[in-house]
Homo-oligomer: A and B are copies of this chain.
Amino acid sequence: MSIRNPKQALYEQFAIVAKALGHPLRLEMIEHLAQGSRSVEALAAKLGQPVGNISQHLQALRRAGIVSAERDGKFVHYSLSDASVLSAFAAVRGVAQRQLAEVDRIVRGYFDARDDMRPVTRDELQALMRDGLVTLIDVRPADEFALGHVPGAINVPLGEIKAWSGSAVASREVVAYCRGPWCVMSFEAVAALRSLGHSARRLEDGMPEWKAAGLPVEMTDRWR
């Protein structure tokens, strides 16, 4: 092994963190863990991956200090170590969004840009909710909703959008949110609602950002 000066040693440490963020699956894992703690098995099920593979990637994230493990009987629950992980993820997303044309292309290809896709900001949402002007729906699966959601939000998982929209007042605007600013579920929810004749917009980002902003969170369960 070559002799390393402290400068190189520091860069190596920083690179460990960045390298751990440098895999699509690990980023997806981080986005899920940002919703709340998960066991290895639960995370594997969410991502449709073999448990062994997820365990491997969790070790990589743990070595980089990105996630922490906590044993609870037979289960090991993983969670993000620190809110700084979310800002690092957000910063990486920011670079990609500004500099990689491909990101723009994907979003536009997925959600027709000619529609008004201007998202609702958190401040706007709070005002609209206070005045009772909108219906807020959380389109994540029920288990994630249970781990924490925006007060006043109704849980309408993506598959239930159509059924729910029948019972909703069509004239009232709907705001949808999910896991984060690029989570596709809220894009899909807005597209579905619009095709069903509703007025709908996305919240600019998701639950983890809401929580990180220090806003109130309603919770049902701790695990799972």
Contacts and interface: CB of A to CB of B under 8 A. Distances in A.
Interface of A: 5-28, 64-66, 81-82, 84-85, 87-96, 98-100, 102-103, 106-107, 109-110, 182-184
Contacts of A107: 6, 10
A15 B23 contact: yes
B21 A22 contact: yes
B24 A100 contact: no
Copies of this protein, total: 2
Given A11-B28, A106-B6, A106-B9, A16 B65 contact: no
Given A22-B22, A65-B100, A100-B64, A95 B10 contact: no
Given A18-B22, A88-B88, A96 B65 contact: yes
A82 B99 CA distance: 8
30 contacts: A5-B184, A6-B184, A7-B183, A7-B184, A8-B24, A10-B103, A11-B27, A13-B96, A13-B102, A13-B103, A14-B24, A15-B22, A15-B23, A15-B24, A15-B27, A17-B95, A18-B21, A18-B23, A18-B92, A19-B23, A21-B92, A64-B95, A64-B100, A66-B95, A81-B98, A82-B95, A82-B99, A84-B94, A84-B95, A87-B91
